[in-house]
Amino acid sequence: MKKSKEITTLVEEVKLFLRYAVPAERYAEALLVVERYRQDITALRLLREFYRSLPEVREEPVVRIVELAASQGVKLFAVLTDAYDYLYVVDADQVCFAGENGMEIEEDALAYFGYPAHEDFRRACLSVRELEDYGSTDSSARAKCPVCSVLEGEFHQFGCPVEVCPWCQGQMNRCNCRFDLLGVAEIGNEEEIGQFQRLLVEKGRIRFSRQQAPAYPSTGNGIEENEGLNP
């Protein structure tokens, strides 16, 4: 009952802001996106914030929503209009505008989602409009990483022992690729971790898939969640 009431309130608020945010001739088009997500609290909160604030005061309707990354319950979204891509960080409590895709945004926010530098993020998100729409697949049917709990198709939390190394296809926190690439015997400081993250993003991180899970069960296989990047 509480969820249903929250959804009803969100839909009403989005529609209210929508009337003042887009040209009258595009209201019906914008409303279709609202109706598509009328049962998704996260998307409705995102739409409410967009239409309430209107980035750069551009009166354009949202045509698509794309999820770019997720980490520990916090998600990075791209809200797409006809001409622009806007980035938002969403958690259980708030929706924060992060900036326009292609512009400089806070590096701390990027690092949280596994992008140590702006160029890494730009490289990964150049084709944001080619990604599937948020909600196009049923999240309840997607497998979950047994260690870091990301869903199938998402990047592991950095340091997760289930993540597969893109260089050797082995278990990344067990292989020697990171040491060989950095020319060190062990990774001992934040600078070296950052260097490895940049190399990893440039090479192309391997997203979690259900095929990984049987090889890396969450219990009884000797994998420790706190092993991190060092042997």
Structure tokens at 170: 């082995």
- Between 151 and 200, whose confidence is greater? 200
Q: Residue with structure tokens 């839909």?
A: 11
Structure tokens at 140: 């309840």
Structure tokens at 67: 């999820």
Structure tokens at 83: 């001409």
Q: What share of the chain in percent tops pLDDT 70?
A: 84
In terms of C-beta distances under 8 Å and separation of at least 24 residues, what long-range contacts does 192-197 make, across chains too? 193/229, 194/116, 196/229, 197/111, 197/114, 197/116, 197/120, 197/158
Residue 126, pLDDT score: 63
Q: Rounded distance, CA 17 to CA 214, Å?
A: 47
| pLDDT surpasses 60 at 170 | yes
Which amino acid, 89?
Answer: V
Averaged pLDDT of the chain: 81
What is the number of alpha carbons within 13 Å of residue 226 lying toward its C-beta? Answer: 0
- Between 3 and 167, whose confidence is greater? 167
Query: Contact 143/209 with Cβ under 8 angstroms?
Result: yes
| pLDDT surpasses 80 at 209 | yes
Residue 75, pLDDT score: 87
| pLDDT surpasses 50 at 221 | no
Instruction: Report the greatest alpha carbon distance in the chain.
Output: 63
Burial letters 146-159, b for 16+ CB under 10 A, else e = bbbbbbbbbbbbbb
Structure tokens at 165: 């190394």
Q: Rounded distance, CA 64 to CA 78, Å?
A: 8
- Strands (E) located in the chain: 64-71, 74-80, 85-90, 95-100
